[in-house]
Amino acid sequence: MPTLTLATQFLHVLAAGLLMISFGMLAQRRTRSLIVLLAWQGAVLTASTLLVAISAHLPDLYYSAALTLVEKVWLMPWILMRLMRRLGIEGDSDPLVNIPTLMLVGLGLVIFAFGLAQPISSLATTVTRQTLGIAMAVILLAFLMMIARHKAVTQVIGFLAMENGLFFAATSTTYGMPMVIELGIALDLLVGVFIFGIFFFQIREQFDSLDLHQLEALKED
Amino acid sequence: MELVLVLAIPAVGAILLALVGAQQRAAELNVVISFATLIAAGALVLRIIGEGPMTVAHEQFFVDPFNVFLIALTALVGFTTAVFSRPYMRIEEDHGRLNARRLRLYHSMYQLFMTAMLVALSTNNMGLLWVAMEAATLSTVLLVSLYRTRASIEAAWKYFILCGVGIALALFGTILLYFAAEHLLGGAGMSALLWTHLDAVKEQLDPTVIGLAFVFLLVGYGTKVGLAPLHNWLPDAHAEGPTPVSAVLSGLLLNVAMYAVVRCKILAVGAMHSAVPGRMLMGFGLLSTLLAAFFLWRQRDIKRLFGYSSIEHMGIITFAFGMGGPLANFAALLHMTVHSLTKSAIFFAAGHASQIAGTQRIAGIRGLLVVSPTVGWGLMLGSLAILGMPPFGVFTSEYLILTTAMRDHPWATPVLLAALGVAFAAIFGHVQPMVFGETDARPLPHSPALVPVFVHLSIVLMLGVYMPPALAEWYRVAAHLIG
């Protein structure tokens, strides 16, 4: 086992934090707290990107960290919070979720993710390569959250958490995608969140609720 | 230069229509913009035929015979759909289902959607391809829910979430691809994402990483192709959106997603030195074809019916690309063309048919030949064409695919034949009473624009009866590129 530099060790701590937040999101029933957790996930992501930028001397990653800070820590949670207030669903919760089972399935997913990441991380040359397993686990946990939840807002939060996981995967295997592409992805995501916002209003106008159980008319009978 | 025009005209058009889209003349402007795009695409085709493949803007864009053919097809169907949509949307406005504000959204997003698809087709950058595919989804989501009915909002939500997750997986695939190439091509600059560069070094890419990347890319872009078991969004989005949107989704977007899958497959086959990527495509293709064929029976909505038919045909195309080799690729490219043309023609006719009947329920649509012979014949001929009746072009491509399957993979032939048989019985059984029979419905207030239907069907007929040697040569070159 080679000794790890201080920066790498710190990165591992951050990665572990990311995973903990993902589990926290899985267990959180209240929508408002979920948004706070999403913002925290963005903050940890910013810190880890910054750390990689410093330790690997990559100026591009500074921009990328700044972009993450603005988009994922401030803008997205702010838009979501505003939407919640406008829709008057701040205190909403999802009581029907069986959390212990979700946690167990989540644990299984983490093991699976590490198994899947093994052959790839052994090829990577970046300082962050061991964290790819965690990135994949974050993606899969977000996936699980989208499947398990029935509120429109929660599904969107799951979607954004999945994007955070993807971003982390990109920094941990390759020091991030080229800047132009990252900007394009950020733009798409932002437009996506706006459209989600429009949708919330459309859904509520038509169905009087944001519970997705009501959106089950279209199926094969 | 031509490529700049192809991309700039719809992009400028989208902005223009966002400003003036609420005017009465916006529909005509939409047609003019689409026509200009078509002319530019035609010029691009001539240039590529004359000078061969080219790269533009520091290799960020790349045009070869494979994608120029799809660019031309996209511009053509984009134009004819704009022509069709002019009277169609006017009738919808008369029925009170739409107002001027929503029409502005529709026109602007229509051009934005065209831009996104054309960028996705012409870009050389795998990252930009992803961004453009996502933009194509985003621009059509609000079009699917344009009527703001419960069903349309549900369909749009499903489309958004499923394709959003799908495309997120494709992003992960792209990241892995970048990771695999970075060692060889260097992380600085864009080189490791450029398809032409990747293609040049594909033999040396790490097979494990590329294998994993391909799985993610296939599932991700495959969701947008409508491959089973990720096809759930497709029939809903096709049935609940306005008909011109169904026509471009089915005729164009599915092709663009297929194009992305094929580009990835070329890299995966090169890196893995094995037939596994092809086998995966064949498996997904067969499953989709079979599943869709059986679902066709149970449909009660005319646009859902043809949505499932699109899944079936994309399955056939995926299967053919999976087999690979010059002949199967040739057939798959031909099938992409004829399916795109025929299916959009069918949606045009089906759209007017449901306007005449006042419902999309198959049981409510009767006696189209009595009310409007052109709509009736359009639907009948279109259905016969899509079912693979000779002398239409679909017959030629399906025949080629079946004979290739018989030669290389005999086990698959009975499955394909069974699916085609079931689909034939189902669609013909549904369409026949809609076209013939008695009715008391009245003709439409604005005369429908059915020229596009018959233009599309005559091209399909021509491809079946006589394929110009130049065109055949072009398909052959493109098929050879895919390998």
Bridge partner residues of A86 (DSSP): none
pLDDT tens by residue, B95-113? 888 888 899 999 999 999 9
- Spatial neighbors of B414 by CB under 8 A, at least 6 apart, are none
pLDDT tens by residue, B28-58? 999 999 999 999 999 999 998 888 888 888 8
Contact A199 B160 (CB under 8 A): yes
Local confidence band at A126 (pLDDT 50, 70, 90 cut-offs): low
ipTM given for this complex: 0.90
DSSP code string of B192-205: GGBHHHHHHHGGGS
Local structure of residue B227 (DSSP, 8 states): -
- Name the residue with higher pLDDT: B331 or A196: B331
Residue A124 above 80 pLDDT? no
Q: Give the per-residue pLDDT at B443.
A: 78
Integer CA distances (angstroms), B422 to A191, B71, B312, B432, in order: 42, 33, 11, 16
Query: Omega of the bond prior to B391 within 30 degrees of 0, cis?
Result: yes
Q: Give the per-residue pLDDT at B104.
A: 92
B62: three-class secondary structure by DSSP: strand
DSSP code string of A74-137: IIHHHHHHHHHHHHT-TT-B-TT--HHHHHHHHHHHHHHHHHHHHHHHTT--STTGGGHHHHHH
Q: Give the per-residue pLDDT at A3.
A: 61
Residue A84 above 50 pLDDT? yes
Residues with pLDDT less than 50, chain B? none
Contact A174 B171 (CB under 8 A): no
Task: Identify the residue among A57, A177, A194 best suited for mutation to test binding to B, counting B beta carbons within 10 A and taking the highest.
Answer: A177
Q: Give the per-residue pLDDT at B37.
A: 96
B138, B157, B178 ranked by CB distance to A192: nearest: B138
- Spatial neighbors of B182 by CB under 8 A, at least 6 apart, are A174, B192
- Spatial neighbors of B453 by CB under 8 A, at least 6 apart, are B84, B345, B348, B349, B374, B378, B382
Contact B13, B111 (CB under 8 A): yes
Q: Give the per-residue pLDDT at B119.
A: 96
Helix axes A179-207, A152-174, angle to 10 degrees: 170
How close B246 comes to chain A (CA, Å)?
A: 17
- Contacts with B165 from chain A: Cβ below 8 Å: 143, 146, 159, 162
Contact B443, B451 (CB under 8 A): no
Contact B29, B16 (CB under 8 A): yes
- Contacts with B297 from chain A: Cβ below 8 Å: none
pLDDT tens by residue, A43-64? 999 999 898 888 888 888 888 8
Query: How big is the A-B interface in CB pairs under 8 Å?
Result: 121
Q: Region A9-34: what's the mean pLDDT?
A: 90
Which candidate, B216, B128, B237, places its Cα nearest to that of B170? B216
Q: What are phi and psi of B474, to 5 degrees?
A: -65, -45
**Closest Cα in chain A to B165:** A159
Q: Give the per-residue pLDDT at A155.
A: 86
- Contacts with B206 from chain A: Cβ below 8 Å: 123
Q: Give the per-residue pLDDT at A1.
A: 43
Integer CA distances (angstroms), B172 to A63, A184, B179, B425, in order: 21, 15, 10, 41
How close B9 comes to chain A (CA, Å)?
A: 21
- Spatial neighbors of A122 by CB under 8 A, at least 6 apart, are none
The residue to which tokens 């831009």 are assigned: B115
H or E element at residue B414 = helix B412-435
- Spatial neighbors of A195 by CB under 8 A, at least 6 apart, are B138, B141, B142, B160
